């Protein structure tokens, strides 16, 4: 048995062969209810096989959680090296040029630059991203750690959202962590957008 499994729902993109076949009726539309049933079936089977469902789309045997991806989900800093690589460091998200030729020549040319984009992440957005990414994990957001890391008060900032999502059965708050319920995992995007800065009144 594999130590780690990642299971993602199919995302259809406009202009792809599969989308064209669906649009012309050659393939059936994807039924969201069927996708939810398949997800719950996978949860049940994998739990019975001893896999820990540690992130919305990821299961692992004990000790085999993906350290690489946990860096992203815990909103930690990382450096990407190479053409097209992305980094998050010092409050900036930046990416290197995807052109291998340009990437290589930048090291030999005076004033050469490998960075193609540089997006400053302000504290408000950083805190929102951290909340959303943490909710993907089974333990959710640790309230005390979050407040310390982002010099804020999670409950005060997101009081309306948390209450609303709890009433829908999508979030649970035990006073230590705020996390998705099983239903919330199925409807994660309905939860996540509410933590974006523009969703806060």
**pLDDT tens per residue, range 75-100:** 999 999 999 999 999 999 999 999 99
Contact 171, 184 (CB under 8 A): yes
Does 191 lie in the same domain as 137?
yes
Domain extent, residue 141, equals: 123-199
Sorted by sequence, the CB contacts under 8 Å of residue 181 that are 6+ apart come out as 169, 170, 171, 172
Does 88 lie in the same domain as 104?
yes
Q: Per-block average pLDDT, block size 10, for the chain (201 residues)?
A: 92 89 90 89 95 96 95 95 95 95 85 88 94 96 96 94 96 96 92 87 62
Roughly what angle, to the nearest 10 degrees, separates helices 143-150 and 123-135? 160
Does 53 lie in the same domain as 9?
yes
How many domains does the chain fold into? Answer: 3
CATH of the domain at 147: 1.10.10.920
Does 177 lie in the same domain as 140?
yes
pLDDT value at residue 201:
62
Does 186 lie in the same domain as 167?
yes
Look at residues 120, 137, 161 and tell me which one is the last residue of a structural domain: 120
User: Cα 183 from chain centroid?
Assistant: 17
pLDDT value at residue 17:
92
**Whole-angstrom Cα distance, residue 157 to residue 56?**
24
pLDDT value at residue 165:
96
The three-state secondary structure class of 178 is strand
């Amino acid at each position: 048995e594999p130590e780690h499994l990642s299971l993602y729902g199919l995302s259809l993109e406009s202009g792809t062969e599969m989308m064209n076949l669906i649009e012309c009726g050659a393939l059936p539309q994807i039924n969201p209810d069927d996708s939810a049933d398949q997800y719950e079936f996978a949860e049940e089977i994998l739990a019975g096989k001893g896999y820990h469902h540690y992130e919305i789309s990821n299961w692992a045997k004990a000790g085999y959680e993906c350290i690489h991806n946990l860096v992203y989900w815990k909103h930690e800093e990382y450096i990407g090296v190479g053409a097209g690589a992305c980094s998050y460091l010092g409050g900036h998200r930046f990416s290197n040029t995807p052109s291998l030729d340009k990437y290589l020549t930048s090291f030999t040319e005076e004033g050469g630059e490998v960075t193609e984009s540089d997006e400053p992440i302000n504290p408000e957005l950083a805190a929102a991203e951290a909340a959303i990414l943490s909710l993907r994990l089974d333990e959710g957001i640790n309230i005390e750690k979050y407040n310390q890391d982002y010099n804020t008060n999670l409950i005060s900032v997101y009081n309306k959202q948390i209450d609303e999502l709890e009433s829908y059965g999508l979030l649970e708050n035990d006073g230590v962590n705020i996390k998705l319920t099983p239903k919330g995992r199925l409807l994660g995007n309905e939860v996540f957008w509410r933590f974006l800065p523009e969703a806060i009144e």
